[in-house]
Structure 1
Amino acid sequence: MKQSALKNEVVGAYAFLEDMYDDDYFPNHLVDQCKDILVELCFEIERTHPQDLDALYVLTHSATDKFNDLQDAFYENDSEIETGARECIAQNFEFIAASYGFEEADVEELIATRDW
């Protein structure tokens, strides 16, 4: 799925995970996989049109679980989802929520299922 195909033009043009791409500590091929998770989340929001925060949180928790699944791959590449990555990822989740009309979403709740 191409980010540029998103209906929300602001999200379609957004530079996801820019801080992680700018830091050599994070392998780009793994950051690409993280970006894919976020773009898939956007497509899912556009497909399902969550009606409230609880419905949005179901989607963001599913995406967060996919980030959890990538932790071993980061370790295998002498990297990890650490403080800088956590903040960057959380900001991207918050941006997505706000861009789809959920400005009141709690960032900690968006990624509540994280284990990183």
Structure 2
Amino acid sequence: MKKEINYLVDMYRDAYYPDFLVDKVKEAIKAVEHFLETETYTTESVQYKLDAMTEKINDLTEEFYAHDSEIETVARESIADTVFLVLEAYKIDIDIEEAIRNRDW
């Protein structure tokens, strides 16, 4: 049984990040987790899903700006920490920098 993952803790704690946008980031990460729970995968297919997740988060940049927020240091670390926990929970051996290699943030 995998351990419980607390998603994007620092982003949810900080009012600078609108919860509805943090929820969208969480949904992108949870899509990877759903893939890991329901599909047979290889390291390459997991990286493909991580790349798609990162692109979805990249696409939120303008929406964060529109709400006087941005994906900056605290957000980057919170996203990376959460993705790391997902990879660890499923025993996926992908370095976190590689996992989120396509980030614009």
- Fold agreement, TM-score > 0.5: yes
Question: Residue 106 of structure 1 corresponds to which residue in structure 2?
Answer: 95
Task: Kindly report the root-mean-square deviation, in angstroms, between the aligned alpha carbons of the 2 structures.
Answer: 1.3
User: When the two structures are aligned, how many residues end up with a matched partner?
Assistant: 105
Establish whether residue 49 from structure 1 lines up as the match of residue 57 from structure 2.
no
Shift of residue 50, structure 1, vs aligned partner: 1.6
For residues 46 and 78 of structure 2, the distance between their equivalents in structure 1, rounded to whole angstroms, comes to 20
Aligned-pair CA distance for 1:36:
1.1
Q: 1:98·1:105 contact (CA, 8 Å) conserved in 2?
A: no
- CA distance in 2: counterparts of 1:43 and 1:14, whole angstroms: 13
> Structure 2 matches for 1:65-80, cutoff 5 A?
65-80=55-70
Q: Distance in 2 between matches of 1:75 and 1:111?
A: 21
- Give identity over the alignment, percent: 36
* Unpaired runs of at least 5, structure 1: 1-7
* Structure 2 residue ranges without an equivalent (≥5): none
State the alpha-carbon separation in 2 of the partners of residues 67 and 49 from structure 1: 24
Match among 29, 40, 52 for residue 31 of structure 2 = 40
Distance in structure 2 (CA, Å) of the matches to 1:68 and 1:39: 16
Q: TM-score, normalised by structure 1?
A: 0.84
After TM superposition, give the deviation of residue 26 of structure 1 in Å: 0.4
Greater relative contact order (CA < 8 Å, ≥ 6 in sequence): 2
Are the equivalent residues in 1 in contact too, given 2:2–2:90 (CA < 8 A)? no
> How far apart, CA to CA, are the structure 1 residues paired with 2:36 and 2:51?
13
Give the TM-score of the pair, scaled to structure 2: 0.92
